[in-house]
Chain A
Amino acid sequence: MDIKSATVWIGGAAGDGVASTGDILAKTCSRSGLHYFAQSSYQSVIRGGHVVYQFQASSEPVYTHGDNFDLLIALNQDSVDYHIKSINKGAGRGFIFNSDKVKLDVSALPAGALAYGLPVGDLTAEFGRNPVMQNTLACGVFINLLQLSWDVFEKAVRDQFGKKKAEIADLNVKVARKGFEYAQSKFQPLKDIVLKGDGRPRMLLGANQAIALGAVAGGCTFYSAYPMTPASAIMHWLAPRSSKYGIVMKQCEDEIASINMAIGAGFSGTRAMTGTSGGGFALMTEAMGLSGITEVPVVAVLVQRGGPSTGLPTKTEQGDLFQALGAGQGEYPKAVMTPISVEDAYFSTVQSLNIAEKYQLPVMLLSDLLLSEHLETVDSEALTNKVVIDRGDVVDSVGADYTRYADTPSGISPRVYPGLEGGQHVAGSDEHDEDGTLISDIFTNPTTRVKMVRKRFRKMDALAKEIAGESFVKEGPAQADLTLVGWGSTYKTLKNIRLALEKEGMKVNHIQFRIVWPFPAEAALKELKSAKKAVLVENNYSGLFAKLLRQETGLSVPHHIRKFDGEPFYFAPLLERVKGLLNPGAPEVQYLVTAELDIPIKRVVATAGV
């Protein structure tokens, strides 16, 4: 039977061109109408270190970057040495590599596997022997081995170099063709893997791009940030499009300035957003409270990475849930969204901007390195610019009795933008009365304090009502033998697990949380109380979501599978653990480690990334 998907790794050192090789192959797949999902395991160095770009291309929807590889494009010796144990079984599985430089002991390969050695020097002699030519040559071989469309590939190469570098593009096409033809004459295509696109080109993006796009489509016109992996790509996408879409992308001196500027812009009436990772978010937390008490809307994107401190700068983790929930001193109304997919990241960004302005509070949008930096194909119909932009209750004329913080039944007080006659007020960081007067300036009246805290928190009631039904998605049968539970970025992996178990005849359903504050306690309790057997899967050590769930519902999920090694969950090992839960005496908490990436540290890492 034909296998409809291929898992491919590209290994090399930073600076070897791993990412650009991946980009070209990604475009080739997405434009061929294939489904594609890629994840890069990289280090916090600009040159050197070891990078593994892993992708899965398929004729059918894909939900993860795959497990062991069918083909590995090895740009250096390490990639062969480190990953030889991760090769799939099957005819033609193997390594594509530069045989002038890289040695591969064929006897170490499993039966049927092959060494696709390329005499790069000879093959590129006529083109001038540029070291990156090995990548291009390997791409040509790859296209042939998997029988992908040469024309689509050639266009992807040309697009990557652009019209300005047409000569370089020509050269690369020629080199790749050489590889393609070499493969034609020397190798057999992989017979059992059939990648057949449906002819519909798909969008190719990760959550960072989806968030940036969602920001523009959702009416954000001010984005401030300080560079920090893995959130910087939002900034990188917006900056060159600033004058096109009329959005200011302000790089600030630090994250404190970023969020405070965003709040200032919000006060002036501009839809503003900021973004960072955990370390930068830690600096922002005081200003979260400023947004809370002054009721100036702001959206802060928090793309989590491995912590604590600078932790794992280029690795994924779901470790900042409590940092978001507990951001800043004191109590204030807030919302925390945890988008579950690239598509959801797009719509959640729009929704965050709407919630922030409608309820005049800070909204935190939590992504993580996996969700933000992986790349996947998305049907263009899945996204739309026809989104609602709700600026909330903003008035353009006021009477003499206008007060900015009017104690209304909903708690939402009509806003004014500076420039409106009669709306003058001070938005105070200190507790203030309805007209904005700082109560600490006169007398800290306990009754006023109580009134204003209650006013602000009343907004949460309406917000909770608005988002009821949207806090989590439930997939699979209403009643099942096993319920998978997750939040944020683990959605597609768990979906993949559910579908796989379903195929094996099991009754499995899946609940994935996308808004975790205000917490949908009643609905969550209703769903989970009746679950026969539930497992909570999250990318952290101590079960942060499990704690939140227990805190809000009193409910303890019986089984937990966690991972905190910096890598995302891989499908196959997770599937095995989930299946194991059906055995009697299955453990309450178990941890997964991606041992395949347990590679020796040979060199001193030169530069730490921020």
Chain B
Amino acid sequence: MSPIGKPIVDARGINKSFNTAHVLKNVDLKVNAGEVVCIVGPSGSGKSTFLRLINGLEDIDGGQIEVGETTLPGAPKELLSVRRNVGMVFQNFNLFPHLTVLENLTLSPRRTGRMNRSGAENKARELLKRVGISEQSSKYPSQLSGGQQQRVAIARALAMEPQILLFDEPTSALDPENVNEVLNVMKELASSGITMIVVTHEMGFAREVADRIVFMADGQLLVDASPSQFFEHVEDERLRSFLSKIL
């Protein structure tokens, strides 16, 4: 996608432990601007934890991650600048239940002084239209279906105009009939050229949309390949066993 220049996310030698559990072991990953990278693997393999290190929701124990111009671990100020450049979509949506859909989107742009009220609201309406829920802007999250909530969450992540979007199993908490509406929004985003790192179990989505698929197991990054290689040519034993279980 962007063959020249340095990667927009560059993680080197990442280690992370929770108490005695060593959940990430020397993970390296480079992501170029505009790339869509899907991270797959069995549960407990550390993929969500890795994602959460990229915007500082967890502290890095060893190694470092360059995100855009900033390096983590860093001071609180650097953490803020990373987070304002990185949008995140959670498995459980985590919309702010006491705010309307529109306020969910405008909160951060206004508080961080990035936009004034009318600017933030215009941007928010535009994003809601893009994810197909412009009718719901004055509702509260609890009045929406899971799929709608997740699309609002995607719009909220976009409201800060980030360069990078992180998705942490964005369809895992959805009812089956709501999965596709979210995946379709994500496909549209992927084709728009924003950098995306997606932890997912949706292999069809990964195959269709990803530029690269990364396989993690036991805290290690074992395979990093294009979708066609990933599904057909990789000999890694654990990947084969994983694929045979879920495909």
Q: Are A and B physically bound partners? A: no
